[in-house]
Structure 1
Amino acid sequence: MDTTTTVPVDRDHVTSRRQFDRTGGTVVVGLPVTPARPAVSDPALERFARLVRRQLGVPTALVTLVSADEQVFPGALGLPEPWQTTRRTPLTHSFCQHVVLAAKPLVIEDARLDPLVQDNLAIVDLQVVAYAGWPLTAADGSVVGSLCAIDSVPRQWAEEDLAVLADLAGACSSQLQLLASQDAAGQAAVLADAANQRLAVLAQASNDLADAEGWDDLDRVIKQLPELLVPTLADGCVISLRGEDGRFSDHAWWHREEVRGTVLSQWVGLRHQVMPAHSPLRQVLDTGRPQSTDSRTVAAMLPAGPARELLEQLGDTRWFHAPIRGRNTMLGVLTVFSSQARPSLAEEEVTVRGIAGRVGLAMDNQRLAHAQEQLTERLQRSLLTDPPQPDHGEIVVRYQPAAESAKVGGDWYDAFIQPGGTTMIAIGDVAGHDSVAAATMGQLRGLVRGIAAFSDARPARVLQGVDHAKDILMIDGLATLALARFEQTPHEVEEGTTRMVFSNAGHPPPLILHPDGTAEFLTPDGTAEMLVGAQVEVVRTDRTVVLEREATVLLYTDGLVERRDSDLDAGQQRLLDLALQLTAGTLEELCEGILDGMGTAEYDDDIALVAVRLHPQDRPRPAEAGPNVVPDSAPEPAHPAQ
């Protein structure tokens, strides 16, 4: 990992600004004599700390103001005590002083390895490891502090996160300047209201875009953006997007005046047909750079006709075009325009650019998510098939992809009927969370199915066949794999019992829920057997358990019980306790309750879960279990219910 300062400061300059006072202490010259604000919470500045922490996903965010002998935090979230309460530290704990002295941003991935700050006491006392700080400026342009994001672990700061931090720092600087000029009460109130409204629009737009789920939802959010931006940022707004055919068209628009809104609707229907290649809009589409222009300039480029007349009816306006960029392509343009009589504020353009960037990021993310979902659906459709429903046995399966991965991985399950009529359940986990793991998983699943379906063998014998086939076919990778076969003789049918024959190659033990309300994990009698792929010649053993009817068996992958903050035993105990609470419900309810109760959506590991319930055979199969689904060649069951 690159742990150097990614946005450099002049270290010689910083060092030269330090002097020793007469008492031997160190002071830093070139800093303000006193902080620009007192060391107390300021609601207006706390808002920026909240925005930074939420938008960048960091534990700590600060609005820091620096003086010659201390730094104070009028906006602070996530500091350890007593600093969160006192809201001040000496400069021995200050990274932000370097932002002020150099008047430049400071971005550090691992402070413990950075020569500029590796001896700073904030690393230990304030848990500052990763740091990104942007200058906060006073009305005269001097840097008085830093808007900073802090993480307690090393972090590579994403470019879009730094862009958001820069935008927020600009807005925060405006807020500081506003607070510093409160004597001009009337103007200060106007500016404060405008700044707050811009921040509210930025926050609302960012949240709406980030919360969009799927293309339809994102399309709805984008179509509502112009109405959200107007009139806070401009009198009118138009969003143009690239279609599937590569052509740009106007996707959404809004004007603060109803009459001119009608004119704007007619204008957007014509402008792309007549807009010349050298127009500001076309230049943005071609170069990806923002452009400012005005209606008179654009009108002079248009031929006489309806489009030009409609533009003139919109009034004497100034226009700003912000590019909507994807990672490798231009996706569209966010255009705002206002009457020349409306004061022009640079902060409005900064906010517009920030929102355009967020639109591009949201669209890119949806494109990627859509491609991943398609891949996931194809893999799951081909590899994770619906289970059979044999006789009075009910099988329910669940697969939950990792929350933050590409939704493909090595966890898998299978259930099928062997030639002799027994039911075989397989569950496994190939190391990795990528397409390679998914491919290996598919190969192993095919081996298990082929060997078990042809040989009618018991689990241990099938596992031995997989060990040898994996070696001879040169299938790489390690995997855990467990097989459970449910067998029954006519005598056992009369007794109401079923045998589960189980063999385990390093997989988490199944959980058995007995009908008397007890539960147990089927742990190995001795040493756990090796993973598939660890060694060719492995002795595989079967273990047989007699189950009464109405028993339930749960097979699962480790993502269900493993957590970074607790050990495996604790996770298994949580599963056992939860399963006992839910066992009275249907098998579907049991599986859903387990996934919800174990908090699986919060962890980045895929999960496979198979639940088997043995319903009594002296009565008809219960309606909740659904109809029987077995191969036509499967032997007919023989029990009293027939």
Structure 2
Amino acid sequence: MSEQLAQLTFDAAGVGICGIDADGTAVVANPAVAELTGWPIEHVVGRNAHDLLHRPPNSDPDDRPRQGCPILEVSRGGPTTRDDSDVFWRRDGSPLPVWWVAAPVVLPESAAGAVTAIVVFGDASERRERSRSADARLAEAESGRSTAELQRDVAERQAMVARDEVEVAQAETARLAVLARLSDLLNSLDILSGLDRVAELVVDTGLADACVIDRVTADGGVARVSLVASGLPGPAAASELHRLPSPSGTSSRSLAQVLNGADTVVVDLSAPSRGRPYADELDEVQARLFDVLGASRAMVTALAARGRVLGAMTWVRRDPRAEVSSPDLLMLRLFALRIGQWMDNLRLNDLQQAAALTLQRSLLTALPQPGGLEILGRYLPAGEGVEIGGDWYDAVLAPDGFTVVAIGDVSGHDMAAATRMAQLRSMLRFAVLRSPLDPAGVLREVDEAMPTLGVGGSATVVLGTLTVDPSAAVDERHTLIWSNAGHLPPLVLPPGGPPRLLTRPADLLLGVDPMAPRHEHRVALAPGSTLVLYTDGLVERRDETLQAGLDRLVEAARDAAGRPLTQLCDALLTVLVPAAGTDDDVAVLAVRLPADGAEGR
């Protein structure tokens, strides 16, 4: 539950509300708790509820032990418990006559910690004073009645007052529980399924007989995206989900008013409206919807955030006797506030992810194709709903004709990570042009420059240079010189031989310690060999070890080794990447040497 939502909820309550964990420690409390007890909120949170409420300040703990406290029993999984005549203790040591209700409830940890019970309480002295005044008036008005009759009436009135106050406490507890469930539902990154679950919650908890949610589309139109109604079959509800006519300035219907900036609108539909002309198409669509739902009353409010209307939510009631109360409107607005914030966060996240993905793909430029060499790159973004990663690959033809290849993964999954990736790639390119035969020196130079140039975070990189010695034997003519900064080992597929991982010890990641030593490795590559560089998204899975993923890579490479380079890369992605995608992006860079031993520089 957002801080703003919690504050609105607590401020609206005229009783003390305190959430406690399984140990009885207060996790969250509303301002009324401070007003009733005299303890500031920061003193309430973190203290045991029994010690705070049931024990006088500075008293001996042995006088009132925690064992057997009915409130603590509820926090440990006990049933809902209430007491109409108890005593709490104020900060100044004075007793506070109270009524209270403690109910078990589970709130999401992101909202209010590990809350297991909600305690709602109020000042019973006010109730007693009202009862005494009522008793006096009753006695004066009915002085001729017997004492027994008067006592019976007084007891009935006191019981009625007590029941009313307990019902208020229970309603507050139930409202908090529903709002907590709402926050839990809105952890979803899928806006359509999230809105469906919200509508189901509204109907399942009896807040309304039907819930309708409309969403403003990217082009400024309006689409009906969710409709849940008790007693309405799924196909009938689905038939109402469609793009709506745009509201006109003349439309008088509640939906148009809300989308055009009006506050919450309450509509009384119990009176017949046949024959009334429609202002526009949207007016007619809304009238037909209310007829289908059998609506007697409707409450419509905007789903908005940052001054932008993102949609509208309508709660429908069918019983013409069911009046719309202030608590009803409060719950509608609290729902709308939370949903609007969630929708806006998803909208901003989508914009950021689109920008980051565009930046990342713009860096994966066309790869050079030096004579005799074939170079191919593949990039797959992470699965739907997962933030963009920092994976990249590159190939550069140095001035002396050497081919330099690189692949890396920048820490982070956001626009900042994509920006760092662009900076790091540019730094490596610049350094490579000056020292193409010294990959370890290039990584060292970049590592030292990162703090100076303000490039934060860390990154794994494999940087390699392919050299050719025409005077060497054919099987030793091509050499890979590489340095590894915390990345996964390169894979080599020799023609006619088994694939092998170049498992030399990897050095420290870039961005951790500029003074860390960098090492260089060399390996001769036979004509027709294929070098494959890849990022962790290709092989790492949450349910298996890294070695298991590397073994799968070697096996998949063995099966596809003889295929053309394009088919080889496609086969690796098909075999190793699940059809549903992964929770990390994937980059692959493959280089195939000429089979006839040509220079291929």
Q: TM-score interval w.r.t. the shorter chain?
A: 0.5 to 0.7
1 CA distance for matches of 2:552 and 2:235? 55
2:585 pairs, out of 599, 602, 606, with 606
In structure 2, what is the equivalent of residue 320 of structure 1? 298
Q: Secondary structure at the match of 2:370?
A: coil
Residue of structure 2 aligned with 1:559, choices 537, 542, 547? 537
- 1:577 aligns with 555
What pairs with 1:63-102 in structure 2 (closer than 5 Å)?
A: 94=77, 102=102
Aligned to 1:125: none
5+ residue gaps, structure 1: 17-25, 30-68, 70-90, 118-140, 150-154, 175-193, 241-250, 254-267, 619-636
| Cα pair distance change 1:541/1:107, threshold 3 Å | closer
Contact 2:364 2:393 in 1 (8 A): yes
Partners of 1:366 and 1:110 in 2: how far apart? 17
CA deviation map 1:545-590 (0-9, x unaligned): 1112232222122333334444332332232223223334443333
2:131 — aligned with what? none
Contact kept? 2:378, 2:569, Cα under 8 Å: yes
Instruction: Look up the equivalent residue of 1:390 and give its one-letter code.
Output: P
Query: How many percent of aligned residue pairs carry the same amino acid?
Result: 29
Deviation at 1:232, TM superposition (A): 5.3
Query: Is the 1:288–1:325 Cα contact (8 Å) retained in structure 2?
Result: no
**Residue type of the alignment partner of 1:514:** P
Task: Report the CA distance shift for 1:160/1:323 in structure 2 as closer, same or farther (over 3 A).
Answer: farther
Aligned counterpart in structure 1 of residue 248 of structure 2, from 272, 292, 306: 272
CA contact (8 A) 1:428 1:480 kept: yes
The SS at the match of 1:500 is strand
Deviation string for 1:468-501 (max 9, x for gaps)?
4335545443332211111223345955852111
CA deviation map 1:70-96 (0-9, x unaligned) = xxxxxxxxxxxxxxxxxxxxx998477
Give the 3 Å change call, closer, same or farther, for CA 361–415 of structure 1 in structure 2.
same
Q: Which amino acid aligns with 1:544?
A: R
Cα distance in 1, alignment partners of residues 250 and 280 from structure 2: 7
Aligned partner of residue 312 in structure 2, secondary structure: strand
Map 1:130-279 onto structure 2 (within 5 A): 157-158=183-184, 160=186, 168=200, 171-172=203-204, 222=223, 252-253=243-244, 272-275=248-251
Asked which structure has the greater CA Rg, the reply is 2
**Could you tell me whether the CA contact under 8 Å between 1:481 and 1:531 is conserved in 2?**
yes
Unaligned 5+ segments in structure 2 are: 4-20, 34-48, 55-67, 83-99, 118-168, 188-193
State the one-letter code of the partner of 1:274. T
Q: How far did 1:235 drift?
A: 10
Distance 1:597 1:422 in 2: 33
SS at match of 2:413: coil
Q: Distance in 2 between matches of 1:111 and 1:282?
A: 33
| In structure 1, distance between residues paired with 2:512 and 2:263 | 53
Residue 286 of structure 1 corresponds to 261
- Give the Cα–Cα distance (whole angstroms) in 2 for the partners of residues 228 and 491 of structure 1: 81
8 A contact 1:389–1:395 mirrored in 2: yes
Give the Cα–Cα distance (whole angstroms) in 1 for the partners of residues 297 and 396 of structure 2.
65
Shift of 1:611: 1.8
Residue identity matched to 2:550: Q
In the alignment, structure 1 residue 441 sits paired with structure 2 residue 416: no
Partners of 2:238 and 2:270 in 1: how far apart? 14
* 1:488 and 2:468 aligned: yes
- Taking a change above 3 Å as real, the CA distance of residues 239 and 557 of structure 1, as seen in their structure-2 partners, is same
Instruction: Give the one of 583, 595, 601 matched to 1:616.
Output: 595
* Displacement after TM superposition at 1:450 (Å): 1.0
> Quick one: structure 1 residues 96 and 486, their matched pair in 2 at CA, closer, same or farther if it must change by over 3 Å?
farther
Q: Calculate the TM-score normalised by the size of structure 1.
A: 0.54
- For 2:591, give the aligned amino acid: V
| Counterpart position of 2:445 | 465
Contact in 2 for aligned 1:324/1:334 (Cα 8 Å): yes
1:101-112 maps to which residues of 2 (within 5 A)? 102=102, 106-109=106-109
1:422 aligns with 2:397: no
Are the aligned partners of 1:237 and 1:336 in contact in 2 as well (CA < 8 Å)?
A: no
Deviation at 1:503, TM superposition (A): 1.5
Q: Deviations over 1:150-169 (max 9, x none)?
A: xxxxx995473699888656
Task: Say which SS state the counterpart of residue 568 (structure 2) adopts.
Answer: helix
The CA distance in 1 between the partners of 2:476 and 2:510, in whole Å, is 35
Instruction: Indicate the RMSD between aligned Cα atoms, in angstroms.
Output: 6.1
Deviation of residue 427 (structure 1)? 1.5
Q: Which residue of 2 aligns with 1:398?
A: 378
Aligned AA (2:109): E
Aligned partner (choices 442, 450, 458) of residue 478 of structure 1: 458
Residue of structure 1 in register with 2:366 after alignment: 386
For 1:43-62, what per-residue CA distance to the aligned partner results, in whole angstroms no more than 9, with x for missing partners?
Answer: xxxxxxxxxxxxxxxxxxxx
Give the letter aligned to residue 547 of structure 2: D
